[in-house]
Amino acid sequence: MEMSKLRQIDEYCWTGADAPGRIRLYGSRELLEAMDNKVLEQITNVSRLPGLVGPAMTMPDAHWGYGFPIGGVAAFDPALGGIVSAGGVGFDISCGIRLLRTNLRWAEIAARAWELSEQLFDRIPAGVGEEGTLHLSMDELDEMLAGGARWAADRGFGALEEMEFVEEHGRMAGAEPASVSNLAKKRQRGEMGTLGSGNHYLEVQVVDRLFDAEVAAAYGLEVGQVVVSIHCGSRGLGHQIGSEFLVSMAKGAAGHGITLPDRELACAPIRSTEGRRYLGAMRAGVNCALANRQILAHLTREVFVGLFPGAQLEIMYDVSHNTCKEERHSVDGVERALFVHRKGATRALGPGDHRLPRRYRPAGQPVIIGGSMGTGSYILVGTAASEERALSSASHGAGRSMSRHAALKQWHGRQLVDELRGAGIVIRTKSMRGVAEEAPGAYKDVDVVAEVTERAGLARRVALLRPKICVKG
């Protein structure tokens, strides 16, 4: 990114030289310099959308995406004609990470790592178009879209008691299955309990280092402990919802008096019929992702218990990115009901927030920054400062530094798998092309992203996780 186009606010916060105050970019000079100029262009375009309250923001892991940059955060007030944008949520609605803590230590299971990887790979369908053993009727799909993870728990996939540790308590209110097309539903009929492809994964990890022992204890984490991260979303259903509403919103924008700075920023007023329809469909997509991760967690638990009798896998937390949520925030001293888009960004509530589980309320919300196959992942905690700085938002991952096309030119899947095996990391995949596209070198340095996220006041580091087994599509 051309730094001459930015004006520095503080050490880790910048604004646009041509649009001071309208945009805010969080990151170190080095991270911002390495970003494409398209990130600045896209977040500047977002700042021109109707009803924006406060600045349009990017997180330290930002990179350019479809319309909104990935790592983008923007809030809109319906009372000011504020909009909702399908591009501001993304195609993989409620893509997120569920982290399971276990009562196992790596030393206890290391000798059976390959066997564990085989069973997880056999049990967890992963890859483009992969289907699982669960096939839903259209009526069951509607029930799932309304019920989320609670629907899955009611059917024996885990327990309702776990919902305290899932965003929205496992079910996002306001979902409207009737606003989801039959084509979107048909795409999802056989995809519940599946990982998908791209950067999605199921990873067995070990807690390598603690940065905050007190918060780690509240989260039930200790060095040497085995944990499992499940990273996936709403699969084909979410992609279809995004595709369809991007088209309809683009066609209808002019009728609402909206001039789009970029067609990819297709949107509709929150209070319009189209806006309400999208929100109903998007919330159904959120519930689909929550249900999907609930099923995957149950399947994972069964594999572990089968191999290690007495194993316990509990939800530490389930955090979503790629959402638009109605939240109350104080902006310029005025409390407002806002619709907060977080695309490739996670909510990061500070200590004392009533939406948090009682166990975590004194510390703050767990924030999970996922690594990039072969690198570490981080657990952070939301801070009180993040509310004012970024509407309680933080980074969601390392963030790409290279396109998938460019990665394919530089790396070969088999070579990467062999190299990671030599480093003690087992990769199980059906697509060597997918491994090359997701090469660790195609992403920003996750250690730097996590540190800068902390230094920027968005969330504070709690624990570093190291991968041992990674199942990918």
In the structure encoding, which two tokens stand for residue 189, read together?
A: 């009929």
Provide CB contacts within 8 A for 354, sequence distance 6+.
361
In the structure encoding, which two tokens stand for residue 48, read together?
A: 């021109």
> Contact 347/319 with Cβ under 8 angstroms?
yes
How far apart are alpha carbons 101 and 206 in whole angstroms? 10
Helix (H) or strand (E) run with residue 296 in it: helix 273-307
> Contact 412/442 with Cβ under 8 angstroms?
no
> Contact 168/107 with Cβ under 8 angstroms?
no
Task: Tell me whether residue 63 is one of the annotated catalytic residues.
Answer: no
Phi–psi pair at 226, nearest 5 degrees: -85, 135
Catalytic annotation, pick one of 63, 239, 298, 396: 396
How far apart are alpha carbons 290 and 378 in whole angstroms? 21
CA 77-81-84 angle, to 5 degrees, is 65
> Coil, helix or strand for 444?
coil
Handedness of CA 275, 277, 283, 285 (dihedral sign): negative
Residues shown for the chain: 473
How far apart are alpha carbons 153 and 134 in whole angstroms? 14
Could you list the active site residues? 396
